[in-house]
Structure 1
């Protein structure tokens, strides 16, 4: 189902909002000849000239390799939840398999069939982990004591009972981040079947040759596409509490549901593994007493986690807590070898990755994702370093430090600031972000009117009625890579059957093989270029240090999967 339909010209956006799909070669788009200098995308006429012609899509390639029946892949998104009623996500979210681990230790789910529940009971029980079988994970490498503890934990999970609620779905209020990531992974056009108000899924449009569909008549709804609009999303909602048990349950549930891909667009608050090590150049300066402030910083970094132990009156961490964090680490590594786990590298601009992206190695299926801009540079906030697997397109951030200067010259009040590069190198700022789905209402990023308010649906305020937002970060980049992993799995299923899937290590290898550290990020014209962020001459450390294997070519990865 290519995006070159007769309705694609009705897109109300004045710029090509699916540029990231072209950058990843999910769609083959012709942007025309490259100009002698990078174009100013802030000028409407230039934006219109850069509107590409879509010639083909990866989705069509997968469909052409099949037998006429569209196969699907399941992407488990471990985040804060996904809006269940978003018109571009409604048919993509598998609500029967989604789970809320933030409000119940054994899982909760909200259903709309209120009349089927006991009116005198606020909730019903359900065994979300019933039949949990982890034999396929093999030996997780735990100690004997931790293995015994883990077995008792999983036995408790297998016998546990979660709940089904009649309350308002919490994901409709607090799932902005997850909703944005979900759109980048699997958003699809909200097409209405003619004469009805029913929303058609991509599979229906593909398999039912006699079905007639038309674009959604709500002017706030865009014909939006994620990287793989034929995949299904399993929302695994978790909180930000420092509770390792909920994250153990999250990864085990994704494995229990036989997810084809797991996306974790955030870090986990492990008190030991998330600690950043002092940089070598800082410790050298401190040792030579060249900078007292730097020396004090290194000393305080070195004492993180130790000061409490030095104070006998301070509360000590329980052994059971450390044990659960240890078990979680082994569970993540074990599950990644069976299912690819896509992790965000982090948004602090450090040359070290956040946890668990920093667990990425060649022998596991953890994919650590950094972000790059359409200007070909690492995003101003994106973490980088030796364990980075690859990168994906995202937005940018201004940087002003002694190593580099990156400012938004299109900002209206830029002239009021005296930013002089001096000894810093100046890098071009990119104003192009990722347009994606937003949580409608005041809790969304764009704070649109609530769909259930007195405002008529067609007159909803906010960007696209509050249904869309400009998004970015390594969260957005990791969501895009999660979509490519889904494409790889669907390509494999097309050849070998719906019930088959590639393991995490294989999917990661296919991604890396299809990546190029010198690719041009369309619609830009500059190849991936290192920058100085945290030290002088850092751009000389090589492209792999900043971009890992580079920017993936989704079409090449899919062709490799079809040939596997």
Structure 2
């Protein structure tokens, strides 16, 4: 074992279990045995050839056995969630979900009552009628910016969105959100009893698969799939990738007005100023040359302007405007909301030693939790951002790395024989073949377009997908952040188990609990190597404080929940 821990190129001799990430997080207790067989080269052979580990317990049972606990509510700010996925349909709070991508004041898709009626039907809905941000206190805004935010709040509180009886846009654009949702709250799909809807999962979630109320779903495409907290509910807040600060202000205002327990932001926000990544030192000289060229071009245009009138640039900032005002309001709003509700953010997938926005806002005095990704081999995922401000890490997939500081390649790839790789001693790091498995948007718009190995089975009559395609390989810091969002929901439910009612911990308290429950010396099960720094953007970078790569370390859900239950 010492040899394996000191050799960066030796993979851990473990098989693949499709919920391995829950074991790595301490959500379930699993015995993977002492398999010496190599890791399968792809998920299909892994799912079909590797026996399941022995599951002896879960954090869910620990909470459920104490008392009847109301579910936590997690707001997912992303591109939407498939409303009909069998593992998600009972976990999504459809009556609270909102689409801010297609309507400024919110939209929600309702069932189409009559397929033969092509008339466009739309009803008004006041989604923000209960909006009141007085509980956020001082957000640190200037007098002018505070007045501007107050005007926005008043505008939204008096606004009307729409209820639409048309095709839900989430059936086409929600692959990323659907995958994140599965990691947070997915539950095994069950057939409802007559006249009822699917209930919450049974307390003994691994053994009680059949009861007087429900029966296992016989759809051959479906897996007994679990998110980190299958007992909680998800509020879907759909946003686009537009560079529109108002859209994201509305998203955080809505999440706050809904009094959710956790907010998950598994992607970046396109702030034109705060999303900019500082260049590496070796690239700055080239950028300075470009800047000098831009300056020369500016002087040339000024000279032309002195010769006579020129056409105005339509995108140019006009005199007297403050283009950063809305983005600054958004920044302070995110920080203010995070102090009341934990905001879990993805650290980013560019392999940089700095975090994307808004994960980069994480600080000791707020509840923003910046999540990096690690592999079952104990290394930072090849793409995962790291550096100052990283809060903690969670399991995810891996990415190949080819640079002068390290080589990390998939040596099981059929293309490996086409290349020559001769890295210097100590510069090769083991590539992990274990990815996250999560729920996919069924059909051609999903990640796997209905072509995943398990979707080749004949679909049943209850299968609304195109040939199945209910699951996909997933990863990134998005996947890691989603898992942490599920654990944060567990923490909130544990708090209710002790104190009763529907109360919740604030964002700073949840962040502290998660940090205390993390460790930089843990193995990423089912691997055998503890968290190990790597050289990504500089030689000898691995001697930097491990916190730089892993924050507080690998989160353990059992420790986090135990700390709350014993408080």
What is the TM-score of this pair, normalised by structure 1?
Answer: 0.87
Deviation at 1:201, TM superposition (A): 2.9
User: How large is the Cα RMSD of the aligned pairs?
Assistant: 3.2
CA distance 1:300–1:395, shift in 2 (3 Å): farther
CA 1:73–1:359: 2 relative to 1, 3 Å: same
Task: Find 1:520's aligned residue among 519, 523, 544.
Answer: 523
What residue number does 1:371 align with?
Answer: 373
Match of 2:553 in 1: 550
Distance 2:268 2:555 in 1: 23
* Structure 2 counterpart of 1:444, from 443, 446, 460: 446
Task: Give the structure 1 partner of residue 180 of structure 2.
Answer: 181
Trace 1:16-31 onto structure 2 (pairs within 5 A).
Answer: 16-31=17-32
Tell me if the contact between 2:26 and 2:558 (Cα under 8 Å) persists in the aligned partners: yes
Who is 1:162 aligned against? 161
Instruction: Tell me which residue corresponds to 1:485.
Output: 488
Change (3 A) 1:557 1:275: same
Distance in 2 (CA, whole Å) between partners of 1:45 and 1:131 is 49
2:245 maps to which residue?
A: 244
Secondary structure of the equivalent of 1:72? coil
Match of 2:408 in 1: 406
Q: Is 1:316–2:340 an aligned residue pair?
A: no
2:297 and 2:224 map into 1 onto residues whose CA distance is 54
The TM-score, its normalising length taken from structure 2, stands at 0.87
Q: Deviations over 1:166-216 (max 9, x none)?
A: 110001111000000000000000012467895343269999997343321
Task: Decide whether aligned partners of structure 1 residues 266 and 445 sit closer, same or farther in structure 2, where only a CA change above 3 A counts.
Answer: same
Q: Which residue matches 1:286?
A: none
Instruction: Select the residue among 281, 284, 287 that pairs with 1:297.
Output: 287
Greater mean deviation of Cα atoms: 44-53 or 489-498: 44-53
Q: Matched residues in 2 for 1:180 and 1:100: separation?
A: 18
CA distance in 1, matches of 2:450, 2:266: 24
Residue 265 (structure 1) shift: 0.4
1:276-291 equivalent positions in 2, closer than 5 A: 276-279=277-280, 281-282=281-282
Question: Do the aligned residues in 2 keep the contact of 1:377 with 1:528 (CA within 8 Å)?
Answer: yes
What corresponds to 1:287 in structure 2?
A: none
Deviations 1:408-458 (A, max 9, x none): 0111121111122137700000111000000001000010189xxxx9546
Cross-structure match for 1:382: 384
What is aligned with 1:32? 33
- CA distance in 1 between counterparts of 2:128 and 2:409 reads 50
CA apart distance, 1:276:
1.6
1:511: which partner in 2? Answer: 514
Q: In structure 2, how many angstroms separate the alpha carbons of the residues matched to 1:99 and 1:156?
A: 17
CA contact (8 A) 1:446 1:462 kept: no
Q: Which aligned pairs between 1:38-117 and structure 2 lie closer than 5 A?
A: 39-42=38-41, 51-66=52-67, 69-112=68-111, 114=113
Aligned length: 531
Deviation, structure 1 residue 301: 7.9
Where structure 2 has 5 or more consecutive residues not aligned to the other structure, the ranges are 1-14, 303-311, 453-457
**Change over 3 Å in CA distance of 1:16–1:267 after alignment to 2:** same
Residue 160 to residue 308, structure 1, CA distance change in 2 (3 Å):
farther
Matches within 5 A, 1:202-241: 202=201, 211-241=212-242
- Kept in 2, the 8 Å contact 1:463–1:469? The answer is no
The match for 2:122 is 123
Counterpart of 1:526 in 2: which secondary structure?
A: coil
Most deviating of 549-558 and 496-505: 496-505
8 Å contact from structure 2 (residues 70, 502) kept in 1: no
Do the aligned residues in 1 keep the contact of 2:69 with 2:496 (CA within 8 Å)? no
Structure 1 residues 459, 42: closer, same or farther in 2, change over 3 A? farther
Q: How does 1:450-489 map to 2 (within 5 A)?
A: 457=460, 465-489=468-492
Report the alpha carbon displacement of residue 317 of structure 1 after superposing the two structures with TM: 3.5
Deviation per CA, 1:125-183, whole angstroms, max 9, x where unpaired? 11000021111100101000001111111000100000000110001111000000000
- Residue 505 of structure 2 corresponds to which residue in structure 1? 502
CA distance in 2, matches of 1:480, 1:369: 10
Do the aligned partners of residues 459 and 139 (structure 1) sit closer, same or farther apart at CA in structure 2, a change above 3 Å counting?
Answer: closer
Sort the Cα spacing of 1:526 and 1:211 in 2 relative to 1 into closer, same or farther, 3 A: same
Quote the residue 1:335 is aligned against: 337
Over 3 Å counting, the alpha-carbon distance change for 1:449 and 1:52 in structure 2 is closer
Mapped partners of 2:162, 2:355: distance in 1 = 36
Q: Which residue of structure 2 lines up, in the alignment, with residue 10 of structure 1?
A: none
CA contact (8 A) 1:394 1:477 kept: yes
- Secondary structure of 1:54's counterpart equals strand
Q: SS at 2:468's partner residue?
A: helix
CA deviation map 1:308-367 (0-9, x unaligned): 899776543463531100100000000000000000000000001000000000110000
More displaced, 47-56 or 495-504? Answer: 47-56
Q: 1:300 to 1:477 in 2, by over 3 A?
A: farther
What is the 5 A alignment of 1:553-564?
553-564=556-567
Q: 1:417 to 1:465 in 2, by over 3 A?
A: same
Q: Partner residue of 2:544?
A: 541
Q: CA deviation at 1:107?
A: 0.2
1:347-358 superposed matches below 5 A: 347-358=349-360
Q: Give yes or no for contact 1:402–1:424 (8 Å, CA) kept in 2.
A: no
Whole-Å separation in 2 of the counterparts to 1:460 and 1:546: 43
